[in-house]
Amino acid sequence: MRKQLLLTPGPTPVPPEVSLAMAVPIIHHRTSEYRAIFEEVIKGLKYVFQTENDVFTFASSGTGAMESAVVNLLSPKDKVITVEGGKFGERWTEICKSYGIEPIVIEVPWGEAVEPEEIAQILEKNSQIKAVFTTLCETSTGVVNDVRRIAEITAKHKAVLVVDAISALASIELRTDAWGVDIVVAGSQKGLMLPPGLSFLSISPKAWELVKEAKSPRYYFDLKEAKKALEKIDTPFTPAVTLIIGLREALRLIQKEGLENIWERHALMAEATRKAMLALGLELFAKAPSDAVTAVKVPQGIDGENLVKLLRQKYGVSIAGGQAELKGKVFRIAHMGYITPEDILLTLSCLEIALNEMGFKTPLGKGVKVAEEIFSRG
């Protein structure tokens, strides 16, 4: 079996400490032993979310927490704003429409960040808008949106701000309370360094007011039930016990490194990746690039899907291709979670070899050298 290096923007690699923590025999969840673990997890999550608000945990992929935000805040026919600058922004629109909620869609060209003033203008004209849905790191395009500025805008209106931070949490700067983000949703398999299977949602007092009147159907994802349970350090249904035990370990690692150091490490890896790509004569896809994932335009004459396949099959390096309309047109290198500068160097090195093999002639080592210089600085 060939050694595999995982640099996809979810799932991401899991540290051995976390895997080992999850290898213990299963325990029952209504025990003092489990409660102590969950209590530590709740505290750790508040730190990572940078919030004093409640943070809820679900046994689902990240999209579950997105759906929870929609159904707990809104009723059929409610008006909201969704920001579509990629595949994950589109998901907000799709979930809202599934529940009969009426989104005003801001269509942002893929590769660009939303202009916060556009949100402000729509909010000023429509006082009945209840929520603004956006994405911090739009993983499909590698773009980071200016959530801090957007939160300043929503703070002046009745509308609450809901942010998909599934790939951003524990990767790039996010200050839920200081910025005033009402709802943050996240998932386990990205910056949090866990396998897929958990999702999270934090909620502000302003957003709770909407929960009280929301009439969308909901059952598993009902936050009122979840809150009653959380007050007793519990969940309404069986938690994903093993993943919660792994999460405790991951949160300990995160607290040990410190969030700001983690953000800095991600910024350094992102800078090295971006500058290496430019040195190879490649173009970045994102005009406002995120420090969690780098999207790169596939050079002319190269099949992007084949490049990703060659890297995985021959060199054991998994990066991601493009999604939806970007299929074959971009490749994406994740630098989030347990991914390290050494992983980036190896990936850049194999990428240079693979590009040459496919006919894109570039001097070997040119991108790696740039990255090495950046890492030597730190």
Ligand X SMILES: *Cc1c(COP(=O)(O)O)cnc(C)c1O
Instruction: Please give the residue ranges that form the binding site for ligand X (CB under 6 A).
Output: 9-10, 61-63, 88, 135, 137, 139, 164, 166-167, 187, 196
Pairing of strands 183-187, 160-164: parallel
Q: How many CB atoms lie within 10 A of CB 252?
A: 15
Residue closer to ligand X, measured from CB, 142 or 367: 142
77 CB neighbour count, 10 Å cutoff: 9
Question: Phi and psi dihedrals of 183, rounded to 5?
Answer: -130, 130
Give the chain's largest Cα–Cα span.
62
Q: How far is the CB of 141 from ligand X (least distance, A)?
A: 10
Closest to ligand X by CB, 164 vs 343, is: 164
- In whole angstroms, the minimum distance from the beta carbon of 93 to ligand X comes to 13
What is the DSSP code string of 301-368? T--HHHHHHHHHHHH-EE-B---GGGTTTEEEEE--TT--HHHHHHHHHHHHHHHHHTT----TTHHH
- Would you say 195 or 281 has its CB closer to ligand X? 195
Contact 142, 295 (CB under 8 A): yes
Question: Nearest distance from residue 65's CB to ligand X, in Å?
Answer: 8
Instruction: Indicate the residue among 57 and 135 with the shorter CB distance to ligand X.
Output: 135
The minimum distance between CB 296 and ligand X, in angstroms, equals: 17
Minimal distance in Å, beta carbon 114 to ligand X? Answer: 14
Minimal distance, residue 47 CB to ligand X, in Å: 21
Long-range contacts of 267-272 (CB under 8 A, 24+ apart): 267/172, 267/291, 268/341, 268/374, 268/375, 268/378, 269/335, 269/339, 269/340, 269/341, 269/344, 270/294, 270/335, 271/374, 272/341, 272/344, 272/370, 272/371, 272/374, 272/375
Helix (H) / strand (E) element for 68: namely helix 62-73
Quick one: 89 or 239, whose CB is closer to ligand X?
89
Where would I find the H helices in 76-215?
Answer: 87-98, 116-125, 147-154, 176-179, 205-213
Closest separation between CB of residue 173 and ligand X, Å? 16
Smaller CB distance to ligand X: residue 10 or 13?
A: 10
Report the distance separating Cα 163 and Cα 149, nearest Å: 13
How many helices (H) and strands (E) the chain has is answered by 14, 13
Paired with 81 in beta bridges are 104, 132
Q: Which of 122, 140, 146 is nearest to 132 (CA)?
A: 122
**Residue number, 135 or 204, with CB nearest to ligand X:** 135
Shortest reach from residue 60's CB to ligand X, in Å: 8
Which CB atom, from 240 or from 279, has the smaller least distance to ligand X? 240
Q: Select 137 or 345, whichever has its Cβ closest to ligand X.
A: 137
Cα 299 to Cα 109: distance, rounded to the nearest angstrom: 20
Angle of helix 366-377 relative to helix 259-279, nearest 10 degrees?
A: 150
The least distance separating ligand X from the CB of residue 66, rounded to whole angstroms, comes to 7
Rank residues 293 and 368 by Cβ distance to ligand X and give the closer one: 293
Q: How far is the CB of 374 from ligand X (least distance, A)?
A: 25
